[in-house]
Chains A and B, each alone.
Chain A
């Protein structure tokens, strides 16, 4: 099960909030986490 890299919660792959970054799909629990990620993916992916 993927983890929302912004808040750290477990997320289902069926989540409607997702973003692709450097060829990898990231899943989020809510729109606010997705927006934070999209603004600066580097912060959450290293």
Chain B
């Protein structure tokens, strides 16, 4: 593997040979610093540690500040008292920065910890030297206020950032938190025992009671109950689970006890796979972040060069001008530049936005499998829908029935449905569904023979029954013959999915072209096209030809989103700039494509486009902010304000720099948190409401 991993906490690239790595859920994570590794391993413990360090920092740095600036207070041994107050801040509160700095030197990838350590240690040891040897540089003062307050401000910023990030992450974590700790296993002797859900194995049988969450994926063996699948699909209406149906981890059993045979547990369960995909997407990188990556790799060396250059400039300039304190100003200029620079804001710009974007998507049953698809998503100008199963329902319905002959309507349907119950053909399923809806019993059929492309025949209730159906792609009329006499006919049609028409209309109003592709005959595709207002249609297309159509459009500079079946349209989904698989929430890892819609709600296509566009624009905004911050403030720290306020400004610049630096990361995180508001605003713009997409 020739890849360079990224730190899942701060998003920085980390060499794979680093000794800072952890294995979690079978995956290896690499870190830029010990701080990041601790944050990842146990965020609560890390926040507690941060709180302690912060409390010490504020307790000691406030007196340092008071003694330094309330000059009318006459404090004996002033410098020594400042020194002793500054020591706990420097060497207890600031400890985490040194750990990080040492590792960054070892890894030869300079980070923020190195800059903070260099800045504060320079100010501290310069002041220590002046305190112990006051006669060496007679004119110089001490700057324990700068060394202590820089640490305090940056720790405060880190603390706010951790709290905000933890809140953002909680939304994704809620998936895993849903899995109950214990399950009721049914032993072979019928006894029910409580065991830890982690100990369940495929093949075990569990009992899931009313109101409980399914701990694993499984098949219903006994019972019937409504299941709330909203955690996976965002769909609020419960679905009834019968014997033989699949139930998924994280969904809720509403009103009947079910015995379930365990199929997938732990990491293989649907919920864990979705969580894994969300985590992977949020730790991936969007193309737009690459500019930030290039910038980051030159950033710390550039800051150090700027810091040395400004220190040397001020030292030489002031010494030649006969100024009394050239060394002090040089040290303060160095400290200010090093401290004000904030590579963290650049590192955070993408990952935090992607994390929030992933959790917003997952709440609507949208799983974005890789972040690189977000860039392409924001550029999509054509959406191609597969017809059957995407724009229309998977199974057709009977739309017209006609009868002639001696048999009554119900008997004709009963004979046809009994025969078709032996078939998997979509037309057959439509007839069986119609019989079930009418409450007609299905009878046993004998000598059933399916004739490909023609129909099915067999004996039902002593009568020879033939259902002559043409391929639903070409002709939707079906003849029912009983004892070789025509008894009736039905017409089947694929009904449009709810929301299909509105979705197409919204996409068109957003300036996005819409096409329909299908293996069906032209009249049927045209019928759907006419209802939806789509004229660009491709009919009688074989699965592999779909990808050729997409490639052709791509060669004409179109950015194509293909929406289709996750399994049958794999090649088209892979070829499209954004492949969207309409899934069922099961076996999501098998589905191809960049994005999976777990709930088959076609309206989510519009929401998806909005999420893509708004996420990329938010990342760009964050990167712009982080660039702007560093571009403007590094020259400020290097000495531009001296022209307006004189050299006295250097009394405050290091502390102001630390404040600005602490707040810059916080503001990137806060700005990312606004993504949800931005998406809601766009939803209101297009739909008039943030909650209901269409």
Are A10 and B3 interface neighbours, CB within 8 A? yes
Contact with A along B565-578 (1 / 0, CB 8 A): 00000010011110
- For A12, give its contact among B2, B5, B285, B371 (CB under 8 Å): B2
CB-defined contacts of B1 to chain A, threshold 8 Å: 15, 29-30
CB-defined contacts of A11 to chain B, threshold 8 Å: 2-4
Are A30 and B285 interface neighbours, CB within 8 A? no
A25 interfacial contact with B, CB 8 Å: no
Closest to A40 in B: B575
Are B551 and A12 interface neighbours, CB within 8 A? no
CB-defined contacts of A12 to chain B, threshold 8 Å: 2-4
Are B289 and A8 interface neighbours, CB within 8 A? yes
CB-defined contacts of A43 to chain B, threshold 8 Å: 376, 554, 575-577
- For A39, give its contact among B5, B6, B574 (CB under 8 Å): B574
**Distance between A25 CB and nearest chain B CB, rounded to angstroms:** 13
**Distance between B135 CB and nearest chain A CB, rounded to angstroms:** 52
Closest to B371 in A: A8
Closest to B559 in A: A46
User: How far is B4's CA from A14's CA once the two chains are assembled, in angstroms?
Assistant: 12
Per the 8 Å Cβ criterion, residues 543-588 of B in contact with A are 547, 551, 554-555, 571, 574-577
Contact with A along B351-377 (1 / 0, CB 8 A): 000000000000000000011100010
Are A4 and B574 interface neighbours, CB within 8 A? no
Per the 8 Å Cβ criterion, residues 3-46 of A in contact with B are 3-12, 14-17, 27, 29-30, 36, 39-40, 42-44, 46
Are A8 and B287 interface neighbours, CB within 8 A? yes
B290 interfacial contact with A, CB 8 Å: yes
- For A9, give its contact among B6, B574, B577 (CB under 8 Å): B6
Are B372 and A42 interface neighbours, CB within 8 A? no
Are A8 and B284 interface neighbours, CB within 8 A? yes
User: How far is B6's CA from A16's CA once the two chains are assembled, in angstroms?
Assistant: 20
Report B's interface with A, CB cutoff 8 A. 1-6, 13, 284-287, 289-290, 293, 370-372, 376, 547, 551, 554-555, 571, 574-577
Closest to A16 in B: B2
CB-defined contacts of A5 to chain B, threshold 8 Å: 287, 372
**Distance between A38 CB and nearest chain B CB, rounded to angstroms:** 11
CB-defined contacts of B372 to chain A, threshold 8 Å: 5-8, 44
Are A29 and B290 interface neighbours, CB within 8 A? no
CB-defined contacts of B2 to chain A, threshold 8 Å: 11-12, 14-17, 27, 29
Are B284 and A7 interface neighbours, CB within 8 A? yes
**Distance between A11 CB and nearest chain B CB, rounded to angstroms:** 5
Q: Which of A8, A10, A12, A40 has the most CB of B within 10 A?
A: A8
User: How far is B286's CA from A40's CA once the two chains are assembled, in angstroms?
Assistant: 19
Report A's interface with B, CB cutoff 8 A. 1, 3-12, 14-17, 27, 29-30, 36, 39-40, 42-44, 46
Q: Which of B2, B6, B372, B554 has the most CB of A within 10 A?
A: B2
Are B555 and A42 interface neighbours, CB within 8 A? yes
Given A1-B4, A5-B287, 16 more pairs with CB closer than 8 A = A4-B3, A8-B284, A8-B286, A8-B290, A8-B371, A8-B372, A10-B13, A14-B2, A15-B1, A29-B1, A40-B547, A40-B551, A40-B574, A43-B575, A43-B577, A44-B372
User: How far is B551's CA from A44's CA once the two chains are assembled, in angstroms?
Assistant: 12
A42 touching B551 in the complex, CB below 8 Å, given contacts A8-B289, A8-B372, A10-B293: yes
User: How far is B593's CA from A36's CA once the two chains are assembled, in angstroms?
Assistant: 11
CB-defined contacts of B571 to chain A, threshold 8 Å: 39
- For A30, give its contact among B3, B4, B293, B371 (CB under 8 Å): B3
User: How far is B6's CA from A11's CA once the two chains are assembled, in angstroms?
Assistant: 12
Q: Which of A7, A9, A30 has the most CB of B within 10 A?
A: A9
CB-defined contacts of A3 to chain B, threshold 8 Å: 290, 293
Q: Which of A3, A4, A16, A44 has the most CB of B within 10 A?
A: A3
**Distance between A18 CB and nearest chain B CB, rounded to angstroms:** 9
**Distance between B458 CB and nearest chain A CB, rounded to angstroms:** 45
User: How far is B370's CA from A9's CA once the two chains are assembled, in angstroms?
Assistant: 11
User: How far is B614's CA from A35's CA once the two chains are assembled, in angstroms?
Assistant: 30
CB-defined contacts of B554 to chain A, threshold 8 Å: 40, 42-43, 46
Closest to B571 in A: A39
Are B3 and A9 interface neighbours, CB within 8 A? yes
Are B376 and A9 interface neighbours, CB within 8 A? no
CB-defined contacts of A7 to chain B, threshold 8 Å: 284-285, 370, 372
Closest to A39 in B: B574
CB-defined contacts of A8 to chain B, threshold 8 Å: 284-287, 289-290, 370-372
**Distance between B427 CB and nearest chain A CB, rounded to angstroms:** 35
Are A9 and B4 interface neighbours, CB within 8 A? yes
User: How far is B571's CA from A43's CA once the two chains are assembled, in angstroms?
Assistant: 13
User: How far is B64's CA from A38's CA once the two chains are assembled, in angstroms?
Assistant: 63
Q: Which of B290, B372, B574 has the most CB of A within 10 A?
A: B372
CB-defined contacts of A42 to chain B, threshold 8 Å: 551, 554-555
- For A10, give its contact among B4, B286, B371 (CB under 8 Å): B4
**Distance between B381 CB and nearest chain A CB, rounded to angstroms:** 13
**Distance between B90 CB and nearest chain A CB, rounded to angstroms:** 35
User: How far is B571's CA from A39's CA once the two chains are assembled, in angstroms?
Assistant: 9
Closest to A9 in B: B3
CB-defined contacts of B576 to chain A, threshold 8 Å: 43
User: How far is B370's CA from A42's CA once the two chains are assembled, in angstroms?
Assistant: 17
**Distance between B609 CB and nearest chain A CB, rounded to angstroms:** 17
**Distance between A31 CB and nearest chain B CB, rounded to angstroms:** 10
User: How far is B571's CA from A8's CA once the two chains are assembled, in angstroms?
Assistant: 21
User: How far is B5's CA from A1's CA once the two chains are assembled, in angstroms?
Assistant: 13
CB-defined contacts of A15 to chain B, threshold 8 Å: 1-3
User: How far is B574's CA from A42's CA once the two chains are assembled, in angstroms?
Assistant: 12
**Distance between B548 CB and nearest chain A CB, rounded to angstroms:** 11
A9 touching B551 in the complex, CB below 8 Å, given contacts A30-B1, A43-B576: no
CB-defined contacts of A40 to chain B, threshold 8 Å: 547, 551, 554, 574-575
